[in-house]
Structure formats: structure tokens, C-alpha cells
A and B are shown apart, each in its own frame.
Chain A
Amino acid sequence: MYRYDEFDRKFVNDRVAEFRGQVVRRMSGELSEEEFRPLRLMNGLYLQLHAYMLRVAIPYGTFSAAQMRKLAHIARTYDRGYGHFTTRQNIQFNWPKLEDVPNLLAELADVEMHAIQTSGNCIRNVTADPYAGAVADEIDDSRIWAEIVRQWSTLHPEFTFLGRKFKIAVSASDYDRAVVRFHDIGLFIKKNDAGETGFEVWIGGGLGRTPMIGKISNEFVPAEDLLSYLEAVLRVYNMNGRRDNKYKARIKILVHETGLDEMRAQIDAEWAAIKDSALKVPEYEIERIRAYFAPPPFETLGAVDRGFETKKFENSEFARWVSGNVVAHKQAGYAIVNISLKTDDLPPGDITADQMVDLADLAEIYSFDEIRATHEQNLVFAHVKQSELFELWRELGETGLAMPNIGKVTDMIVCPGLDYCGLANTRSIPVAQRISKRYADLDQQFDLGELKLKISGCINACGHHHVGHIGLLGVDRRGEEFYQITLGGSGAEDAAIGSIIGPAFSSADIVDAVEELISLYVEIRNQGERFLDTYRRVGAAPFKSRLYPEKLDAAA
């Protein structure tokens, strides 16, 4: 993974010093809250319902065991002993004190971490495929390019006060594991006929109030022109994006209102003017960064490990965990391990400091020191020997992190909701926990197969409900907590925005309603169909009439 050189180290230290000064000026009153707010947001510091919340950046979700240990230390020293992994591969702490944050950031800088631009109207953490460097279906390691974009976007002087937040994601596979099509800019790495690397660029994707799938703004931007092209897009957006209405300020609205052809023309005109400039990405820099993402020192192993196969045969729980959480690795004899943070002990995505330390130890032993965070609020050990999977599974079990539910109905994306967030309409975590309890039976979960359920506590859609196979949106109905159901969304390469199925359900009824939908799926599914597939085959009507039978009677 990327390691700082002296320039990177100096940079984060400069940033810590700058923020320390800003905190001093805030505490003395020299900066008002109104002035301080955008500055602290650009260091990832929110003021939420109960306390400050600090969002620490994990660039493209990759971090080391040493960094995980530091995060555990921070959780214990500056917070309440736990952290929360987010839908953009970052980690959040919910209870830091403002006066402690500069020291907290200094400690992060010691391990090459920071909280730069994890909030604010600027370019945010560049996210990437959590299986990068490990999976066979990628044509390059998306993190190399995510790192190049990260450096270019860090404290970019021109794009620090955009109309709104700006999110970029990178993928190098036909399988979209990073919700790329729903980002402000989505980058798909491609190779042309000459074998040269370039990017298919999508712009204007997003969730929130007006969910939109992105559109292709350029079919192939050569690798060396990536930064000049991004600069052109950002410049056009910065100059022309709406500033009158916070809910219409993302680039997706600009694309929608301008029209794609005109948008492409404006971007191309700007790009032409700046393409052949110092913005060209030098070959030596690409190679320098690529070197950091070289494969770890794999052993030469057979494709199949006999011990592993035997263990699966002998231990059905282990076999189930493998079936649920373990994915094929491109290197013979290795595997990708998903670690679910959706257990019933903690809110979804949460992890205790003790668990963090345990995982750091395990990563050192089993996965070359490296850990990944996914946008689904889970973790990954990307390079585990098949022969060691059984031991790893046992150790994960001891730390409470062996839940085999990856991709299953209880592996939900859930926003913090009204329990934590000042923007929320309703709570979301309790609903998730109730659904989880209803589907606690693992046999049942496996029978249901892949079922992506996502819950947002408000229309900002931080829980990604628009792209859930089943999505839940918390709404205030007559002063009560209600939940609206959407069906048929997908954040993968079959991108789709879910459709509202009908009137919202009360908090008391919502879990039963979800169960009705899932029961119907079981009744009418064909062999091998996921919930999403069945929904696409039969449409909304059967699900509607199942949930709202009285409407059927009324029509009759």
C-alpha cells in the first residue's frame, strides 16, 4: 500500500498545525462558528446531535495493521472505545472533544493518516474496489489511480469551496463493487486496442434527494490526461453549478439541467485548453505509485489446498462461513476474506477498540498487514492463504467477527439515523436490528441468498436506500416514525434506482412488511434467482398487492 515520503509527511503535519491554529482562534472567539464551520468540516469534524463527530480518511479503504492499532488507541483515548465504518470506506468517531482534535490529528499523522476533506464542499475521499489487487476480474489496481487522484485533489486551491460535496470512485473491473455509477465522477479503467490504459469517465451520478445514475462524459481519457480531464470537469462544475439551493447544487443537477451533450462540449473545450500542460501525469509518478501496490510476496501454492477442503467437509459452520464470506483470489492458493461488521452485538458498521486491536494482530499474521474497508460498512482481508482460513475463522470467532452473513439480508447498509445524526427524520439502527433479529436464522439467510437491504433515516440517503434491492426510507408521518419501502435498486454494474412500492409503514409494521416481501419472493422465485432477479422478472405488482391487499379489493 502507499507509504508517505517526506513530502506527504510534511504535508499532513502542516495541516495539523494549521488546524491547531484554527481551533485556537475558534476557542478565543477570533473565528465565529459560522466562519469555523467550513474549516472544521474540511478536517472532517462535524457537530452532531450529541457531540462532535470526526471522520477519519481511509484512502480508497486500504489501511495497515499499524494504522488500525492507532485507530483503536484513538477510540480508547479520545472517544468511547469504538469506531464506525462508513459507506465511503472511512471511519468515524462519535464523541471527540474539539480541544482534543488537534492532538488526535497529530497522532493520526504519526501513522500517515488524516481527516482531510472527509467533509465540506470539496473533493472527498476517493473510493475504490475493496478487492483491488486481489481479484481476477480487474485489469489494473484501481487504488493506483485513486492515489493519484487523491493527491491531486488534496487542498486543491481552486476546488475547496465548491457548491457542494464532490465524490469520486474508481473501478478496474466490469463488476462494480464501489457504486461507481452513483458518484459525481466515476472512473472505470479501460485498455484500448493498443493496450494503453485510459478511463471511461461517468459524471453526475448520485443518491440523496434526486437519485441519478451517472452518464458517460468521455469514453476513453488516456491515463496521462486523467488529471487535466478531472480539472476540466471540476472547473466547469465549480463555475456553473447552482449555488442558490443546497439541494440542487451537485454536479448531477448541472448535467441534468445543461444536458449531456452541452456538458461534454464545455468540458472538452476546457480540457483542450489545459491538456498539454503541467497537469500531465508523468510516467515516473505512475510507476512510483504503482510500485507501492505491487503484489505482496505470495508463496507459490497449488490452486486448491487439501487441508482447507477437508476442513470444510468436516466443519459445516466453517464451510458456511467460507461459502458466505470468502471470495476467490487471483493468486493460486489464496482467498479474499470478508469480515462482517453486522453482528447483533453492535449497531451495523460499528467495531470496538478491542476488536480493532484483534483484527490488527490477525491482519499481520494472515493478510500481509493489510486491511480494507468496504462501502458496505464491512472489512476485508484481501490476501489469506486457503490453508490458513480455518485458523483465521476460529480467531475471528473469538473476537466476535465471524458472522457469515456477507451479502445476506442481515448485511445491511444503515445510516446512523436520528440516534446520532442531526439531519435525520427517523431512527434507522433499531429497525435494522429488528430485521436482523427476525432473520437471525442463518439457514434461512442462506436460503434467501443475496439480498441487499439498505436503510436511510432521511432523504439524504446516506444509507443508500435508493440502491437497495429493498430500501427503507424513514419519514415523519403525522408526527410518527414511518418507513417507506423502495424495491429493485442496485448499486452494482446493473445500476438501478429503487421504486417506491406504496404508502409508508409504521415502525410497528415495517418489519412484518419486509417479511411479507421476502416471503413472496420465496413463493414465486425461480431456481437461482435472487430477490432482485425475481422482482425484475415479475415487476412491482405482485409485491404491491401482497403489501396492500385492500387496494386489490377496492379495485375488484
Chain B
Amino acid sequence: MPLLKGGKIVEDAWTLLADDLELSKAGFVVVSLDRFIRDRDSLVACSGPIGVRLTSAQSPQLIADALDVLLLIELEFPAFTDGRSYSYAQLLRRLGFAGEIRAVGNVLRDQYLNLKRCGFDALEIKEGETAEDWGIATDAFSAPYQVAYDTEKPIMFLREQRLAAQAKI
């Protein structure tokens, strides 16, 4: 599936490694949580950048102590209506994870803005979807109401800014 990152379609440098396959590539390998827990030391020691793919039933708390060795965390959407991964992304950002958070599975264009605001920076999109769609979706709203991971100032703060500006006049 094409990978959308930073608003552009990009090459995917990462490979998903099945649990039962030997590690042959050095780096840019994504493994399941079970595999990571099982082979953590060897994964960290042997390969280059490593990533973990969590299912929507697996909380990031389970890898909270590994965040500085991971460069990619993939969060699953088995159905686009399963919204657990939005919380997982926010949690990861709060725990200080600075790597790539990628949405994999079933997401609709209409969810791009939610994903971005919750701390995702990349997603697998359906064939036929374009980077333009991403742009349209994320520009759909001028200002959100609430605080979220992304740096946008919610409406409350914009109001304060306006108040302060008026006070200065």
C-alpha cells in the first residue's frame, strides 16, 4: 500500500518481518510485539532501525520502556471504526516517543485529520487515494476546539490571544 508521510507519497523503507522468519536484513525491520518481547536483545544488537507493530488490542504501555530504541511504531486499525489507536498515539507522544507513528490497516480519508492531531505522522493509504486528499482533509477545519498532540492552538487559546491583542490596543 502506498505510504503517505508529511503530506506526500513516499517510498516505504521498512519491511514487516513475520514472526517465524529469520532476520536477514540489517535495519528498517518491523516486528510484532510478541517477536519484539521475545527477541528484543538480538533485534536491538544486530539490526539497524527497528520498529514494532501493535495490534489495536495492545497498549503502548507494553513497550513503554523501549521507546528510545524504536524508530517506528505501527498502530493497527483492523476496522476504521476501531478508534483505540488514536489513544495509543497520544499516549506514545506523551511518553516521549519521537519516532514515526504509522497507521496501518483500514483508515478513511475522513480520518486523516484525527490521525494527524493524535500524533500520527504516516499512514498506509488505499490504492487510488492521493496526497491531495490528505491536504484537503487536514485543511477541512481552520481551528479545533480542543488540545491534542499536534501543535495547533485550539480555539480557546486563539480567543485568549485575541483578548490580549485587544487589551493592548
Contact = CB atoms under 8 A, between A and B. Distances in A.
A544 to B, nearest CB: 44
Nearest to B155: A7
Interface stretch (B9-17, B66-74, B139-147): B139-147
A152 B145 contact: yes
Interface stretch (A158-166, A295-303, A371-379): A158-166
Contacts, number: 110
A288 interface: yes
Contact of B114 (A152, A157, A162, A235): A157
A156 B145 CA distance: 8
Interface string B138-169: 00111111111000001111111001000000
Interface residues of B, number: 40
B144 A157 contact: yes
B118 interface: yes
A285 B159 CA distance: 8
Given A11-B141, A155-B141, A284 B158 contact: no
A161 B159 contact: no
A155 B87 contact: no
A14 interface: yes
Nearest to A42: B110
Q: Is the interface of B mostly helix, strand, loop or mixed?
A: helix
Interface stretch (A200-208, A272-280, A331-339, A416-424): A272-280
A5 B118 contact: no
Contact of A152 (B117, B146, B160): B146
Contacts of A156: 145-146, 148
A154 B83 contact: no
Which size class do A's interface residues fall under? Answer: 35 or more
Contact of B83 (A152, A161, A284, A288): A161
B141 A158 contact: no
Nearest to A17: B140
B108 interface: yes
A11 B140 contact: no
Nearest to B137: A18
A239 B60 CA distance: 10
A520 to B, nearest CB: 48
B142 A11 contact: yes
A22 B108 CA distance: 11
B108 to A, nearest CB: 6
A155 B156 contact: no
Given A11-B142, A151-B146, A158 B87 contact: yes
Q: Which 5 A-B pairs have the closest CB atoms?
A: A161-B83, A157-B117, A157-B114, A158-B86, A278-B147
